[in-house]
Chain A
Amino acid sequence: GAGVSQTPSNKVTEKGKYVELRCDPISGHTALYWYRQSLGQGPEFLIYFQGTGAADDSGLPNDRFFAVRPEGSVSTLKIQRTERGDSAVYLCASSLGGYRGRNKNIQYFGAGTRLSVL
């Protein structure tokens, strides 16, 4: 597609439920990132994929959060047993990736999924 696509744009769930957030990166981008943006704050890194593998998952807050990218394109962020503190905008970004120069790592963002946990 023309840009990074995230679905759904809004998700309302109840405390304790399971949610999945989807990201479809720019075609040909091998690197994919997830960030979380709380109200009034800048985005915070969660996890980074290069291809199918998670190259850095140091930002995942706890083991309730998990992400996959099985075919190296679409990624799903999964949150188990949601808590009210998980409410935020979840952003996905993609870049060309690789190590062929810094311009290859410019990240392009989707519009985000606003998650509300009641």
Chain B
Amino acid sequence: GDSVTQMEGPVTLSEEAFLTINCTYTATGYPSLFWYVQYPGEGLQLLLKATKADDKGSNKGFEATYRKETTSFHLEKGSVQVSDSAVYFCALTGANSKLTFGKGITLSVRP
């Protein structure tokens, strides 16, 4: 079945540091890929998405590129802020409509 693997956390960075959060997936067919974010005390929010190979999703300074050859969708940001502290989930939808999530990773950004 479909699965998503995220790098182990938590991750702690200083403000303005470069961020990479790794995500790889296993799916049949051509999945759509997503990053969702959960800020403290809030619900899951869509951060960005990509629906086909080589697409780049971007939002709020975050980017991720759909790499079919490496089955990856790594999340990057050039300069993190304290307000980026949250839990980040990589997810996919495959042939069916349901989302399959990774375990999530907690990011803490120090001032």
Contact = CB atoms under 8 A, between A and B. Distances in A.
Given A45-B98, A56-B97, A59-B98, A110 B103 contact: no
A42 B101 contact: yes
B42 A44 contact: no
A110 B104 CA distance: 18
B102 A42 contact: yes
Contacts of A48: 96-98
Interface in A14-60: 31, 33, 35, 40-45, 48, 55-56, 59
Majority secondary structure, B binding face: strand
Interface in A71-93: 91, 93
B98 A109 contact: no
B93 interface: yes
B43 interface: yes
Chain A interface size, as a band, is 20 to 34
A107 B43 contact: no
Interface residues of B, number: 22
B45 interface: yes
Interface of B: 4, 32, 36, 42-46, 49, 51, 89, 91, 93, 96-104
20 contacts: A33-B98, A40-B103, A40-B104, A42-B101, A42-B103, A48-B96, A48-B97, A56-B96, A56-B97, A91-B43, A97-B97, A102-B32, A102-B51, A105-B97, A106-B46, A106-B49, A107-B46, A110-B43, A111-B42, A112-B43
Interface of A: 31, 33, 35, 40-45, 48, 55-56, 59, 91, 93, 95, 97, 102-103, 105-112
